[in-house]
A and B are shown apart, each in its own frame.
Chain A
């Protein structure tokens, strides 16, 4: 699960849990899940990325409705 450069740090473990919880709540798309998890793990997620992930998930949700 961990990319090169990541280790099984507390942040990495936590990132996996949080990413799954966000996916379950439809706040992130499955196709963005790995990118999100990796960014959470190594602390590189930017405000812009958060907006994009949540916005895209919202659009996808709207599309499904």
Chain B
């Protein structure tokens, strides 16, 4: 189904001060809207542009104080009142309103898609032809706009730059690692073929032995340190035990100095009284002494014990001190024994550790170790003392092994340093190689991505250029200019150059040499060629009064060109103030049956935009002939105009002679004289209408040879010629003879003229065959042919 526009409605939009509903004939590929200036042509075009493209249309090229949107609303209407409706042939329907200064389009039918709408205004022609290459690129952008692709191309360049930077850093690291290793190698004597080979060999050396040695020496050192520490602890424990014993002896001495009490040792008595106190404490029922079982008075006994203890206070304090001294001595003695055990254990460990480095010890150390081992399990005090002495000696003798351990640790550290530097070198080499490879491949990728884009765009531009050349040649055949060519600007993104031919110069800038009308047609051809590249079957072209500077001859070719290309598109809508454009269709000089003709009436504020359909001239004549009562003058005049238009066109087509005059105006008689002999030669051949299914077919039709109907024009011309006087006598002038002409003759003149036109004009497209093709003239649709090509007088 076609996306051709079937109905357009405007509410409060631009010139539509009153609602406008326009029904378009979607069976015809072309719509010609004629209207004098200020009738509302651009409002209609802008309405379609607004709903399809969200564009402000012709307002895009003008503004008041930088604002455009306020002028979208009709005079005296609000922006919120704007409503544009569009329906397509395939059943799609949409409504557009203005919301936040933008077109808000709402779909009101579930079928179809909005047509692709391309609008050509004079301003767009200037964008294409006279604008800067960058502006021209924007105008062509929708067909060659690969900006999305170019965004990704930009990020590819960024990736390449990133990798280049990484590669630079990797090379710097490699040089640093290489230089560091070289220095180290030189410091170490520069043995081997190279620093790298030396480092490789070194870093691959087995260092387990060194590690084991370091561990052994460390254990000896730790054991030796432990012995020293335990020895110190043991010495401290002995001192502390001695001190505790002295304190105990002092208390015992003090005790001996006190007199005995009650025939016993005072301290024992105090102890006894203290132990007895809880047995007779207050609240206990005591009737007998718990010791001697004699009857006692509890209260008295308690008092007696308390009094005696009070009297023995000095003894009580001494007893407490003695108790504390005894406990302290016991603790210190235990601590000394524990310290001794720890020292013995540390010495045992030292002996065990020292055994592993026996070969590296001095003779004295060997002897001390032997003594240590000999006395290891002996329990007597002398052997133990010997054991301790040997251990202390061994510990001292082993002290130099610490230096040995430092040497081993330094060897290990050096090995690690070489290994780390070598690994850094290897890693840097690997990384640099990887970055280099990645950089090279990204360069290849960028080259491919860039070239693909350039080729793509070049091909598109070449294709558009070729199409444009063909179109331009049709409007300007045989002229020494044209051959337009589009190229991307070298080295500048988003710029399109437009070149062409002028006289003997083959690559000029047309804007510097071509006339305004040639530039107009050039811009039109570029625009049309671009539009054909898209999906023309889904595309509606809008041409808004573009050709203001083009002469009649070129307009005729443009009309033919547009009529031809209209069939490729969903629809072509031409708005023009050029009356002859419309009349070419009315008078069959263009394919009038393939175009819907609309005429805009005078715009007023109260009525807004109004329009009506325009019939073909021959249809109007036929209608007038059938009208009762007969409008004699109207029929004679209409037939006369139609006849003059036909004959004038034929004289131009066949270059027939006409009498010269100042105004280049000829009478009907002049034209009749010029065409009489010509019409005797003219013959028309038409393709027959295809037969319907229910019609009987006698013979098998030849697929290559369509059935044709041949017709000579002469009889029709003769019929008309006999009545041509009617035009002057009834249709143009006052004279008495005109009154003598009967209604029948007037009708006959009208019918004869209509028949003559019908005999020549194509029944399918409504055009007089006028295109040279082989041995004949053909109409636009090619179904009607007229011969001969040349008049032979």
Contact = CB atoms under 8 A, between A and B. Distances in A.
Interface of A: 9-11, 13-15, 17-18, 21-22, 25, 27-28, 39-51, 54-55, 57-58
A-B complex: 5 closest residue pairs judged by Cβ atoms: A43-B148, A43-B151, A45-B152, A11-B148, A47-B159
A29 to B, nearest CB: 13
Contacts of A9: 145, 148
Candidate in A13, A39, A40, A58 with the most chain B CB atoms within 10 angstroms: A40
Given A15-B149, A40-B152, A43-B151, A10 B144 contact: yes
A11 B452 contact: no
Contact of A50 (B149, B151, B156, B448): B156
B442 A50 contact: yes
B108 interface: no
B162 A47 contact: yes
Given A11-B146, A22-B445, 7 more contacts: A10-B149, A14-B452, A15-B152, A43-B151, A45-B156, A48-B159, A49-B155
B445 A27 contact: yes
Contacts of A46: 155
A22 B152 CA distance: 14
A14 B456 contact: yes
A14 B453 contact: yes
Interface in B424-443: 437-438, 441-442
A35 to B, nearest CB: 12
Nearest to A6: B148
B147 A50 contact: no
B448 A58 contact: no
A51 B162 contact: yes
B211 to A, nearest CB: 37
Candidate in A27, A44, A47 with the most chain B CB atoms within 10 angstroms: A47
Interface residues of B, number: 28
Contact of A21 (B148, B151, B442, B448): B448
Nearest to A20: B452
B156 A11 contact: no
A40 B155 contact: no
A18 B448 contact: yes
B155 A27 contact: no
Main secondary structure of the interface of B (DSSP, over half): helix
B147 A11 contact: yes
Contact of A10 (B143, B152, B155, B437): B143
B460 interface: yes
A50 B445 contact: yes
Interface in B139-166: 143-152, 155-156, 158-159, 162-163
B158 A40 contact: no
Contacts of B148: 9, 11, 40-43
A44 B453 CA distance: 17
Candidate in A9, A48, A49, A57 with the most chain B CB atoms within 10 angstroms: A9
Contacts of B456: 10, 13-14, 17
Contacts of B437: 58
A55 B452 contact: no
Nearest to B163: A51
Nearest to B162: A47
A18 B447 CA distance: 10
A59 to B, nearest CB: 10
A15 B453 CA distance: 9
30 contacts: A10-B144, A10-B145, A11-B146, A13-B456, A14-B146, A14-B452, A17-B456, A18-B448, A18-B452, A22-B448, A27-B444, A40-B148, A40-B149, A40-B152, A42-B148, A43-B148, A44-B151, A44-B152, A45-B155, A45-B156, A46-B155, A47-B158, A49-B155, A50-B159, A50-B442, A54-B159, A54-B438, A54-B445, A55-B438, A57-B441
